[in-house]
């Protein structure tokens, strides 16, 4: 029996609910259901990539695009000057819970 697509693949395909804040052909950004900051979005490539550990040189454009989306979100939310964080967790000891590459966009509170 084939394995069900991961949660973030289902969200990107609009098969599972999420509060989507941004979307284009390559990525989707939505609110984290367990926010760690007043603004906590996940920027997720639509193409399944398990983690930073499985990136290939062919993924460099997509990863760069994710950071440009973070910049766009920061500007649109009014944090371009104040600042924000973009975090990526990799593997179990790095705190990765969902094994689909994603970038945490956190703003509205000083990071520590």
* Protein fold of 7-107: HIT family, subunit A (3.30.428)
Q: Which two tokens stand for residue 27?
A: 């990525």
> Mean pLDDT over residues 57-72, rounded?
98
Task: Report the b/e string of 22-36 with b at 16+ CB within 10 A.
Answer: beeeebbbbebeeee
1 vs 45: CA distance, rounded Å? 26
pLDDT tens-place string over residues 17-58: 999 999 999 999 999 999 999 999 999 999 999 999 999 999
Active site amino acids: 102
Residue 27: CB partners within 8 Å, gap ≥ 6? 43, 44, 45, 46, 62, 65, 66, 69
The whole-model pTM stands at: 0.93
Domain residue ranges in the chain: 7-107
14 vs 106: CA distance, rounded Å? 23
């Amino acid at each position: 029996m084939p394995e069900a697509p991961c949660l973030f693949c289902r969200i990107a395909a609009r098969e599972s609910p999420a509060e989507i804040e941004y979307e284009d052909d390559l990525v989707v950004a939505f609110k984290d259901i367990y926010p760690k900051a007043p603004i906590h979005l996940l920027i997720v490539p639509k193409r399944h990539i398990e983690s930073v550990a499985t990136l290939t040189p062919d993924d460099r454009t997509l990863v760069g695009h994710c950071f440009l989306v973070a910049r766009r979100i920061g500007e649109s939310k009014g944090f371009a000057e104040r600042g924000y964080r973009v975090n990526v967790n990799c593997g179990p000891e790095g705190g990765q819970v969902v094994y689909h590459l994603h970038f945490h966009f956190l703003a509205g509170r000083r990071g520590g």
